[in-house]
Structure 1
Amino acid sequence: MSVTFDVSSLKDFKDQLKGLGGIVDSIIQEALEECVAREMRMAKKLTPVDTGNLRRAWRITDVKKDGDSYQVTLYNNADYADYVEFGHRTIDHKNWVPGKFMLTISERQIEAVIESIVDRHLEEAFSKL
């Protein structure tokens, strides 16, 4: 007894997937850029207005690929950003000013929706193919 399968369509599909190498990279890059842009908007909204130029100091690096991983950084280059984020002592060292956790909260919110963002980008790309 034997079974025969026609796998020519699978071979074609495999060849199509091989050709998607550059497309997959661009899909991942676009999804990461959207995620980090959303996170920056959230962090800016959570940044106290009365802290000088802290709200204007948010920056994003370009997405870089290193092997199989991608890296992008959201940061705030204001000298006092860490103190506002995590809290600090007062000048007289008698009291504690609680942190605002602008980046920490934003990161948690993005982690909750990152899969849906990536899935949407993948669906859009595959629907074009």
Structure 2
Amino acid sequence: MARWGRTDFTQLKRLQKKMEKLAQADFEKFCEQAAKELAARLLAKVIKRTPVDDGVLRRGWTAKSQQEAESAFSEATKVSDYFKEVEVNKFGNFYEIAIINPVNYASYVEFGHRTADHTGWVNGRFMLTISENELDAQASKILDKKLTKFLGGVFGGD
């Protein structure tokens, strides 16, 4: 009768343990954190691009209302607190965070408007549009690094 030889299954057992650890990993939390990180990057870009004037429009990106944007809170405090309470919505396989500016003239600054005497046009600043396009170009690299780090925590080390 022929001999089949010896087989070492220790590596397969290690892989099984790592796969079990991966199955227990919290992908929901990972996806929410990734969405918040992308939203924070977008917010940083759009705030930097927003014209200052009296500061209301800039503060509006993290405000819930026009009145809150007009209040005298410091911008730095508001941005740091913003993502602690931001809501991440899940629709199927998609995660969504709404970045809005409730200041009533924000859309006019973004997209442009007629002059007060209706004889000319003031070009828009496109601060959100440009920031979205920039982030869209960077998002895959950011998510790849984040996913590699997440999977490294599961598969890295023995």
TM above 0.5: yes
Q: Does 1:75 align with 2:80?
A: no
Give the TM-score taking structure 2 as reference length.
Answer: 0.68
Question: What TM-score, normalized by structure 1, do the two folds share?
Answer: 0.82
What is the CA RMSD across the aligned residues, in angstroms? Answer: 2.4
Question: Residues of 1 paired with 2:125 and 2:90: CA distance?
Answer: 32
Identity level (%): 38
Contact residue 28 and residue 118 of structure 1 kept, 8 A: no
The alpha carbon displacement at 1:27 in A equals: 1.6
Runs of 5+ consecutive residues of structure 1 not aligned to the other structure: 1-7
1:6-39 residue CA offsets vs partner (Å, 9 max, x unmatched): xx9499365454333x2x2222111111111111
4+ runs of 1 displaced by more than 4 Å? Answer: 13-17
**5+ unaligned residues in a row in structure 2: which ranges?**
1-10, 63-81
- Could you tell me how far 1:53 is from its partner in structure 2? 0.4
Partner of residue 24, structure 2: 19
AA aligned to 1:34 is: E
| Larger radius of gyration between Structure 1 and Structure 2 | 2
In the alignment, structure 1 residue 125 sits paired with structure 2 residue 150:
yes
Partner of residue 46 from structure 2, selected from 39, 43, 46: 43
Q: Tell me which protein shows more strand as a share of its residues.
A: 1
> How many residues align structurally?
122
Measure the CA separation in 2 of the matches of 1:112 and 1:28. 19
